[in-house]
């Protein structure tokens, strides 16, 4: 299930540092107008990276069995189902306007 892997303080500190840097980076990037939806994309990408670091190292998933990966994946996969199919409705609703012709 899970190995009793003990992560070194050095690695933990490095992760912590990276998380802090990314927090500052995302706050800073928010003030720059990147145009279009790029601000959102950048913010979400940084958030995803941060989450990934926490999951892999702080939560020891990197050192865990496949089964753990499956359930971590399942949570996000199902979230994607919920988001993508609902957005399939919301975003395509106006493809067929009320007025025709």
Alpha-carbon Rg for the chain, nearest whole angstrom, is 19
**What single DSSP character describes residue 95?**
G
CA distance 71 to 76: 9
For the bound state, the minimum distance from the C-beta of residue 55 to other proteins, rounded and expressed in Å, comes to 7
CA distance 68 to 52: 14
For the bound state, the minimum distance from the C-beta of residue 37 to other proteins, rounded and expressed in Å, comes to 9
Number of alpha helices (DSSP H) and beta strands (DSSP E) in the chain:
3, 0
Residues forming the site for other proteins (CB under 8 A): 1-2, 4, 6-7, 9, 12-13, 15-16, 19-20, 23-24, 26-27, 30-34, 36, 39-40, 43-44, 46-47, 50-51, 54-55, 57-59, 64, 67-68, 71-72, 74-76, 78-79, 81-83, 85-101
For the bound state, the minimum distance from the C-beta of residue 75 to other proteins, rounded and expressed in Å, comes to 4
């Amino acid at each position: 299930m899970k190995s009793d892997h003990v992560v070194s303080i050095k690695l933990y500190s490095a992760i912590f540092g990276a998380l802090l840097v990314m927090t500052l980076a995302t706050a800073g990037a928010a003030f720059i107008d990147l145009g279009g939806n790029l601000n959102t994309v950048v913010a979400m990408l940084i958030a995803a990276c941060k989450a990934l670091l926490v999951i892999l190292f702080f939560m020891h998933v990197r050192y865990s069995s496949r089964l753990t990966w499956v359930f971590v994946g399942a949570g996000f996969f199902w979230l994607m189902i919920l988001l993508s199919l609902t957005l399939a409705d919301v975003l395509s609703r106006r493809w067929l306007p009320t007025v025709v012709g």
